[in-house]
Chains A and B, each alone.
Chain A
Amino acid sequence: MFGKGLLKGLKITIGRFFGKKSTVQYPEERLPLPDRFYGKPDFHYDKCIACNLCVNACPNKVIKLGTETVEKKKVVTGYHFDQQYCLFCGLCEEACPTDAIKFTKDFELTTYDRDTIGIEFVKQGQIDKKIKEVKQAAAEKAAAAEKAAAEKAAAETKSQTEEADKAETTNKEGGA
């Protein structure tokens, strides 16, 4: 019949008209993000061991790692993330042995100017705390070592004096 296709088209569109709408009202409603979504990065200062693996893994030289050696231990003093160059490839996350760098699901990364797009994760307070901790730990270790050494020395002197005493007594006995 002539016009059958036209009627069919009308039927489909009226079905759509009363059907479910697929719009998601973005800022208020959001679609669920997949588990492996790479959004804004997150850095755990305390987990990082300053191994530099993430820096080497990154194809875009996004990460700048600052370190300082305190008492023979490497302390992270800066972890700058130049977000505008990041591909969100996740290679840094894969490379990290301690899961210190992780990606969250936050994808709203826009900023009003270029200077604020890079992220400096490490705060001065964290560095100070860490250095203090490291120093304290080192000091404690040193103190412990000293104490152990002193104990050892004391024990040695003690045994020496005992031996000397023994020798004296034997000498005395021998002389008698």
Chain B
Amino acid sequence: MENIFVNAAGGIRNLLESAGLPSLVVDISIMTTIFVAILVFVLLNVLWLVYMERKVSAYIQCRIGPNRVGPMGIFQTIADTVKLISKEIIIPKNTNKKLFLLAPVMIFMPPMAVFAVTPFGKGMVALDLNIGVYYFVALASLSTVVIWMAGWTSNNKYSLLGSMRVVAQMVSYEVPLLLSIVGVVLLTGTMNLTGIITAQQSVWMIFLQPVAFLIYLIAAVAETNRTPFDLVEGESEIITGPFTEYSGMGFAFFFLAEYANVLLVSMLASILFLGGWLAPFGLTFIPSWIWLLLKVYLVIFLLMWFRWTYPRTRIDQMMAFCWKVLVPLAIVNIFVTGIGKYLYESVRW
């Protein structure tokens, strides 16, 4: 069980090599297989997350949620997607047609690219970059540009307002997010995601960096544009923000990409703070990738729980909270972490 995916990849490699193909071709086809596998993994998770969100919201509101399509309504998202595919994609007059249609396609690119460096389990990482954290955050923040693109090309006041909010919000919250990660990087001394996970062998980062975890969680909620920071699509003010003009599959892409981003920030949270694929209490008989999934879904549940508990904040409150509370707190956290590490090391030696 533990090495099922690693062995599968090795098996394919052996098969191709024994067929006498040149090593370059073998490498390329292995990489393609891995990326297709990651793509399928992400898409399946996104479909599941939409369903899960509806169930969680229903349960919190004393309802049952979707329960007609398939057992427990599990195929509801598929039915909805099929419905959205069959709908007309309306392109409003005076839009920049090419960019308008490009935006929903591009929105999936940053999350997909990020999953290339994610360690899904022991030895299960497509690209083991030594600046993994940097790559992760840098690419993840690219979706801001795509949403801005969607809002700008829609040529609609609500879209424009929404996308301006996206830029303001995401750029602001990027700062505390990064600063909270710096604390972890300081302690582990590496930016390699696998390195960070192995450094948590004895104690998870959440116990050494609780404040950083809290800051990260709040910033992550804002980064994924979810309640209480979902001003981007504040329905009562600006309809659906940048996605107002989109219909059919165009809209569905943005909708699904939101969940891809949720998966992404939860993945990073469990890698940085919850020990990634490390098994707690020595329960190593459960494969590492299952442990990672469990932790990821724990964080996702936390995010959903937040979403269905808190009301939406106002934009000035949100900005003030970011710059006046989170950023100073994160800087103090780095400072304290640095001093603590220095003291610890000087005491030890």
Say whether A associates with B. Answer: yes
User: Is there an interface contact between A13 and B62, defined as CB atoms closer than 8 Å?
Assistant: no
- How many angstroms between the C-alpha atoms of A18 and B60 in the bound complex? 8
User: Is there an interface contact between A13 and B305, defined as CB atoms closer than 8 Å?
Assistant: yes
- How many angstroms between the C-alpha atoms of A21 and B308 in the bound complex? 16
Q: Which of A11-59 contact B (CB under 8 A)?
A: 12-14, 16-23, 25
B278 → chain A closest CB, angstroms: 27
A97 within 8 A of B: no
Q: Which of B58-79 contact A (CB under 8 A)?
A: 59-64, 67
User: Is there an interface contact between B62 and A9, defined as CB atoms closer than 8 Å?
Assistant: no
User: Is there an interface contact between B64 and A17, defined as CB atoms closer than 8 Å?
Assistant: no
Q: Which residues of A contact B61 (CB under 8 A)?
A: 16
Q: Which residues of A contact B56 (CB under 8 A)?
A: 17
User: Is there an interface contact between A17 and B63, defined as CB atoms closer than 8 Å?
Assistant: no
- How many angstroms between the C-alpha atoms of A13 and B182 in the bound complex? 33
B262 → chain A closest CB, angstroms: 18
B285 within 8 A of A: no
Q: Which residues of A contact B310 (CB under 8 A)?
A: 6, 9
Contact of B60 among A13, A22, A23 (CB under 8 A): A13
User: Is there an interface contact between B309 and A9, defined as CB atoms closer than 8 Å?
Assistant: yes
- How many angstroms between the C-alpha atoms of A19 and B305 in the bound complex? 15
A103 → chain B closest CB, angstroms: 32
Contact of A22 among B63, B67, B306, B308 (CB under 8 A): B63
Q: Which residues of B contact A13 (CB under 8 A)?
A: 60, 305, 308-309
A10 within 8 A of B: yes
User: Is there an interface contact between A23 and B309, defined as CB atoms closer than 8 Å?
Assistant: no
A21 in contact with B62 given A6-B310, A9-B310 (CB within 8 Å):
yes
User: Is there an interface contact between A16 and B62, defined as CB atoms closer than 8 Å?
Assistant: yes
User: Is there an interface contact between B309 and A22, defined as CB atoms closer than 8 Å?
Assistant: no
- How many angstroms between the C-alpha atoms of A22 and B60 in the bound complex? 11
User: Is there an interface contact between A16 and B60, defined as CB atoms closer than 8 Å?
Assistant: yes
Q: Which residues of B contact A16 (CB under 8 A)?
A: 59-62
- How many angstroms between the C-alpha atoms of A6 and B62 in the bound complex? 20
A27 → chain B closest CB, angstroms: 11
B329 → chain A closest CB, angstroms: 12
- How many angstroms between the C-alpha atoms of A22 and B59 in the bound complex? 10
A21 in contact with B305 given A6-B310, A9-B310 (CB within 8 Å):
no
Sample 10 A-B pairs with CB under 8 A, ordered by A number: A6-B310, A10-B309, A12-B309, A13-B308, A14-B305, A16-B62, A21-B59, A21-B64, A23-B64, A25-B64
Chain B contact residues, CB within 8 Å of chain A? 56, 59-64, 67, 305-306, 308-310
Chain A contact residues, CB within 8 Å of chain B? 6, 9-10, 12-14, 16-23, 25
* Given A18-B59, A23-B62, 12 new contacts (CB under 8 A): A9-B310, A10-B305, A10-B306, A13-B305, A16-B61, A16-B62, A19-B62, A20-B62, A21-B59, A22-B63, A23-B64, A25-B67
- Considering the complex of A and B, which 3 residue pairs feature the smallest CB-CB distances, nearest first? A13-B309, A23-B64, A22-B62
